[in-house]
């Protein structure tokens, strides 16, 4: 029962984070690059400039609407979800190395989220101490952690981990965020949708988790970890 409740909580948090990121992307692109419109239109081409990137803002930067505020809240909600993610995806307590990496990832999400939120509120780039290092941790650590958790996950939880990996800025930077000019229109929305789908997958895991008890027991014994009761 505890594991099911945990998965519902994390699933809802991921859905909220994804919705906020989609709303942030809407702020940037809706008036300049309508979904399915001409990406080579003059206004759309201008909006693709990295000058308008809000994830995460770096100088020089030009804010668009409430995009940065919404993205900042999205990252903060995602940080809350990440705190519980190892248990929600695998049902197991993370090992020492995973726990340290998780703490770093959550801290980076919080710092980047707060910096993005404050940048949006002030209309100027806000860079906390060691911001470059934090950005690297934010980009690199979560995908590695998610791959680690995906290895131990099964079924709906595995699907959630895969969608979260696809939603990370690192994957986006080498695929759907790359545009013909600078940033591809609506790429942040795609990331948000992938995050929300991951949340739905965890809700599916909560609903159907009782179907795979024998296999999960074997994983628990093999890993030596303690599993939350479902």
Per-residue pLDDT reduced to its tens digit, 75-124: 999 999 999 999 999 998 999 999 999 999 999 999 999 999 999 999 99
- The strand pairing partners of 178, in sequence order, are 183
At residue 132's C-alpha, the angle toward residues 130 and 136, to 5°, is 120
End-to-end CA distance of the chain: give it in Å, rounded: 4
Residue 214: band (very low, low, confident or very high) from pLDDT cuts 50, 70, 90: very low
**What 3-state DSSP class applies to 178?**
strand
Residue 115 near residue 131 (C-beta atoms within 8 A): yes
What the block records as the tokens of 230 is 């479902």
Residue 220: band (very low, low, confident or very high) from pLDDT cuts 50, 70, 90: very low
- What single DSSP character describes residue 37? S
34-51 pLDDT tens trace: 887 778 888 999 999 999
Calpha distance 17→40 (Å, rounded): 30
Residue 223: band (very low, low, confident or very high) from pLDDT cuts 50, 70, 90: very low
The answer to whether the peptide bond before residue 56 is cis (omega within 30 degrees of 0) is yes
CA atoms within 13 A on the CB side of 205: 34
Q: Is the pLDDT of residue 1 over 80?
A: no
What the block records as the tokens of 18 is 């994804």
Nearest to 112 by CA among 78, 146, 84: 78
Residue 217: band (very low, low, confident or very high) from pLDDT cuts 50, 70, 90: very low
Give residue 165's pLDDT.
98
Distance of CA 105 to the CA centre of its chain: 11
Average pLDDT along the chain: 90
Q: Please report, rounded to a whole number, the percentage of residues in the chain having pLDDT higher than 90.
A: 78
pTM listed for this prediction: 0.89
CA dihedral 55, 56, 57, 63 (to 10 degrees): 30
What are the backbone dihedrals phi and psi of residue 63, each rounded to the nearest 5 degrees, phi first?
-70, 150
Give residue 218's pLDDT.
38
Of 102 and 221, the structure prediction assigns the larger pLDDT to 102
What the block records as the tokens of 118 is 């404050």
What number is the average pLDDT over the span 188-210? Answer: 94
What sections of the chain are H helices per DSSP? 2-29, 42-47, 67-90, 96-122, 131-152, 155-167, 169-173, 187-208, 213-223
Q: Is the pLDDT of residue 150 over 70?
A: yes
Calpha distance 11→126 (Å, rounded): 30
Give residue 70's pLDDT.
98
Give residue 37's pLDDT.
76
**What 3-state DSSP class applies to 182?**
coil
């Amino acid at each position: 029962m505890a594991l099911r409740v945990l998965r519902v909580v994390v699933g809802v948090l991921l859905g909220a984070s994804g919705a906020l990121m989609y709303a942030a992307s809407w702020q940037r692109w809706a008036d300049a690059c309508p979904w399915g419109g001409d990406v080579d239109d003059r206004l759309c081409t201008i909006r693709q400039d990295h000058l308008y990137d809000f994830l995460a803002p770096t100088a020089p930067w030009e804010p668009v609407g409430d995009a940065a505020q919404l993205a900042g809240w999205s990252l903060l909600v995602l940080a809350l979800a990440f705190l519980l993610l190892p248990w929600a995806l695998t049902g197991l307590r993370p090992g020492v190395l995973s726990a340290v990496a998780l703490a770093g990832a959550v801290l980076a999400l919080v710092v980047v989220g707060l910096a993005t939120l404050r940048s949006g509120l002030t209309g100027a780039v806000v860079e906390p101490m060691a911001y470059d290092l934090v950005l690297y941790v934010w980009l690199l650590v979560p995908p590695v952690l998610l791959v680690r958790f995906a290895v131990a996950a099964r079924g709906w939880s595995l699907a959630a981990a895969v969608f979260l990996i696809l939603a990370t800025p690192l994957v986006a930077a080498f695929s759907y965020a790359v545009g013909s000019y600078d940033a591809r229109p609506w790429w942040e929305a795609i990331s948000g949708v992938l995050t929300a789908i991951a949340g739905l997958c965890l809700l599916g895991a909560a609903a159907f988790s009782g179907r795979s008890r024998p296999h999960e027991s074997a994983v628990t014994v093999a890993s030596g970890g303690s599993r939350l009761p479902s």
